[in-house]
Structure 1
Amino acid sequence: MERWKSNLYFLWIAQILSLMSFGFGIPFIPYFIQELGVTDPVSVKFYLGILNSVPGLAMGIMAPVWGYLADRLGRKMILLRATFFGILVLAGMGLSQNVNHLIIARLMQGIFTGTVTASYALVAAGTPDNKLSYALGVIASSNFIGSSIGPFVGGLMAEQFGYRISFFAGSSLLVLSFLIILIAVKEENKTKWSDFKEQSKDKKENSPVIHRLRNAITPLFFVILVILFFVKLGGNASAPYISIFVQEIRGTITGSSAITGTINGAVGLSTALAGLTIGRLGDRISKRKILYVLLAGTIFVSLPLYFISRIVYFTLVYCFLFYLIGSAEPILMSLMSENTPKEKRGMAFGIYSLIANLGWAASPVIGSAVTIAFGTKTVFLCIPAAFFIALLISLMFLKEQREKIPS
């Protein structure tokens, strides 16, 4: 079997386990903080905004640094680093005694973890260009499969054994992901440490990060980053508040974890299917046209969410919505990656992750303000608003960018 295929399949398994691990406990943080003593509804929404923005902001700041080091030291090493610290962070969340401890753990998550971007960078660097959309779609599917199984199992586990056990179980499972990456994934053409030290001493490269940033950010890349920001902003605005939405509809926290886990699991499954199906289309027809359809479809599908008050109907519409959203990001990544030389893709994915995480960090802050001021359901209106801006930008500017990013 070709090395790129072998790596892809092992990374697919490792990422399923990784996202399962985080999915065991993190979707239920709104319930966990109530167990930690935060029970006022306004305070819960306020802390949810902080807890969901802190890791995104920290991860966004660190992403270009890890991306630069990935190009220098090897993408496998950076993925192992992210997985190892994930083990520690999840265990730390399970040990939290108050909401401040949980905030610190989420901050550490943002600074030191990030297996998703690291796995994308590793796959992109070793995959032939004509298979890139497919490979990125496969990795996207692993993320969403893990994100679907994790909350479902974690919700049942939390109902039976408590939220802390869910975090500890996730930490334990992440050890298996670490071992698969360590033993089975083989990276080719990575920079040796001795070469890295020589490059660091070279006076001609006093500012290698700035130089690589200047080479990577071209007009096409910039447009993709702006679109990505609004896609992440809209796609993540409602996620932290699904658990509160379920709790408000049911009128009790009892049993809500299992229902929330089921919703998140179904959403993960639909986005996994998106990565496998739409990802293949991106290798055959215009990625720009696919993106236009996905952004427009997201706007129309998300509008009814505000008016739905039955969990079954909500879940069906929400799943289809995230099929569209889950299809958009692999297309954006493929557009970015195929226009970036392989030796610069680590830095490119670092910049990409920076913007994605800034969108992730901004969305719960906006969501918190909206839900406190206007009620929980209003957060669903943030989705069509953000995707309308993304569609407008793509129609105005993306079609004008035809050049490939130069080496």
Structure 2
Amino acid sequence: MKVVKNQPNEQPLWKRNLVVLWFGTFMTGVGGSSISPFLSLFVDTLGHFTHAQLNLQSGVIFASTYLMTAIVSPFWGKLADTKGRKPMLLRASMGMAITIFLMGFVTSTWQLMLLRLLLGAFSGFVSNSVALMAIITPKEKSGRVLGTLSTGMVSGTLLGQVFGGVIVNQTGYRATFWITGLIMFLVFLLTLFLVREEFEPLKNQAKLGFRQMMKHLPSVQVIISMLFVTLVIQLTDKSIMPVLSLYVRQLVSNPDQVTIISGIVASAPGAVMMMTAPILGRLGDRYGQHRVLLGGILLSFLLYLLQGFSQNIVQVIILRLLVGVSDSALAPSAQVILARFSPASATGRIFSYNQMMQSIGAVIGPLAGSAVAAYFNYRMVFIVASGFILLNLINYLLNAKRLRQA
């Protein structure tokens, strides 16, 4: 990767790209989250299902996107290291625009699953945005910058879920897919005309296999540890998503309010994360990302456990708001640590593996959550999720000494 030279008095490249990519990830968040909280309810309109069938089909359809992403991520990561991150951003945004728009025309669950698989094949906008910013940002500012970038996705998710709830309530599910497709096309145009990258191919490094590449990294143990952190974060978060709106429906007495309240519950963590992610990013730069990460793991465990014992929707919303604090500490800190231990020649592939771990967690999570809900109840999903978080705590304790170097 070449460093782009700025003209006198010109804003540094990393600052300009941060503004554009923040808005791009914001719009991606809006587009990707406008239907996710209501996907199980949309599936329910495509046929006649029993309680167990609805939960299992919703989980499979939700997970299919992430299964495909896990399969193709290493390929896109290698291509990013040989062709650049901007082409990957353009490929992802255009692919998402087309596939999401077409979802508004499906008439059966198999059609929806096919398009969700294609959506996964074209994914990668956020991960490539993070990889690009990780390379061009000064290391001493990486926590603040990547924390700020994460707020784009989160704030977009926050707005998208509420926006989706309103649109679904007023016009139905299909219009949400069409509007989302147009939003992603706007992201494509913004990326095409505003994102700057001068790229020097690193063919020799990209040709290295996974094991050979890992031998050239400064700390393989830290990389593997952070990939595992990402896996568990996604597994925990996604395990509740297919059943979240159904859980809300169980707690809300007025059925006309289910979609709007589901959007509020799903987006509540984002409301807090928007404010706290940059703050925790700065604290991590100053006092150590490993401390922020540990705090996030402990807080996340407590909050998910308490959600399993909530008695009303108000308690759920309050706990979901507090989840935003733990979310602010988890993924951004893991990304910063990955960036600091990844050389420029391998950044694309490392972050593609990180996306692969996200996707694997997002495949296992919905299936596990749906199975638990189908054979037990919705409350048990949150309790099982807190058990997953214990795995992250064990992983952290096993690698605590190495993580202090981050």
TM-score (norm 2): 0.92
Q: Choose the corresponding residue for 2:32, options 22, 27, 30.
A: 22
Between the aligned partners of 2:48 and 2:150, the Cα distance in structure 1 is: 35
CA contact (8 A) 2:235 2:365 kept: yes
Between the aligned partners of 1:208 and 1:389, the Cα distance in structure 2 is: 28
Shift of 1:188: 2.5
Between the aligned partners of 2:327 and 2:230, the Cα distance in structure 1 is: 11
Name the structure 2 match of 1:220: 222
- After superposition, the Cα gap between the structure-2 partners of 1:221 and 1:209, relative to the gap in structure 1 and judged at 3 Å, is closer
Name the structure 2 match of 1:175: 185
Matches within 5 A, 1:25-36: 25-36=35-46
- After superposition, the Cα gap between the structure-2 partners of 1:252 and 1:41, relative to the gap in structure 1 and judged at 3 Å, is farther
**1:116-163 CA distance string (max 9 Å, x none):** 112111211211111111111111100000000001011101111010
Shift of 1:228: 2.3
Name the structure 2 match of 1:384: 386
Name the structure 2 match of 1:271: 273
Name the structure 1 match of 2:115: 105
Q: Choose the corresponding residue for 2:363, options 361, 385, 388.
A: 361
**1:263-305 CA distance string (max 9 Å, x none):** 2232222222232221121111111122111111111222211
The letter for the 2-side match of 1:186 is R
Between the aligned partners of 1:318 and 1:175, the Cα distance in structure 2 is: 31
Q: Which runs of 4+ in 1 moved over 4 A?
A: 204-210, 401-404
CA contact (8 A) 2:71 2:356 kept: yes
CA contact (8 A) 2:296 2:328 kept: no
* CA RMSD, Structure 1 to Structure 2 (Å): 2.0
Name the structure 1 match of 2:100: 90
CA contact (8 A) 2:252 2:313 kept: no
Name the structure 1 match of 2:336: 334
CA contact (8 A) 2:304 2:382 kept: yes
Between the aligned partners of 1:108 and 1:214, the Cα distance in structure 2 is: 34
Between the aligned partners of 1:301 and 1:34, the Cα distance in structure 2 is: 30
Q: How many residues align?
A: 395
Matches within 5 A, 1:49-68: 49-68=59-78
Between the aligned partners of 1:267 and 1:391, the Cα distance in structure 2 is: 21
- After superposition, the Cα gap between the structure-2 partners of 1:215 and 1:64, relative to the gap in structure 1 and judged at 3 Å, is farther
Between the aligned partners of 2:208 and 2:199, the Cα distance in structure 1 is: 23
SS of match in other structure, 1:189: coil
Find out whether 1:310 has 2:312 as its counterpart: yes
Between the aligned partners of 1:247 and 1:279, the Cα distance in structure 2 is: 36
The letter for the 1-side match of 2:216 is N
Name the structure 2 match of 1:256: 258
Unaligned runs of 5+ in 2: 1-10
TM-score (norm 1): 0.92
Name the structure 1 match of 2:21: 11
Shift of 1:374: 0.8
Shift of 1:168: 0.2
Unaligned runs of 5+ in 1: none
Identity of aligned residues (%): 25
Shift of 1:352: 1.1
- After superposition, the Cα gap between the structure-2 partners of 1:88 and 1:210, relative to the gap in structure 1 and judged at 3 Å, is farther
Name the structure 1 match of 2:395: 393
Between the aligned partners of 1:400 and 1:179, the Cα distance in structure 2 is: 42
Between the aligned partners of 2:387 and 2:206, the Cα distance in structure 1 is: 43
Between the aligned partners of 2:340 and 2:28, the Cα distance in structure 1 is: 26
Shift of 1:234: 1.5
Between the aligned partners of 2:211 and 2:330, the Cα distance in structure 1 is: 29
Between the aligned partners of 2:248 and 2:173, the Cα distance in structure 1 is: 17
Larger displacement relative to structure 2 (117-126 or 329-338)? 117-126
CA contact (8 A) 2:83 2:199 kept: no
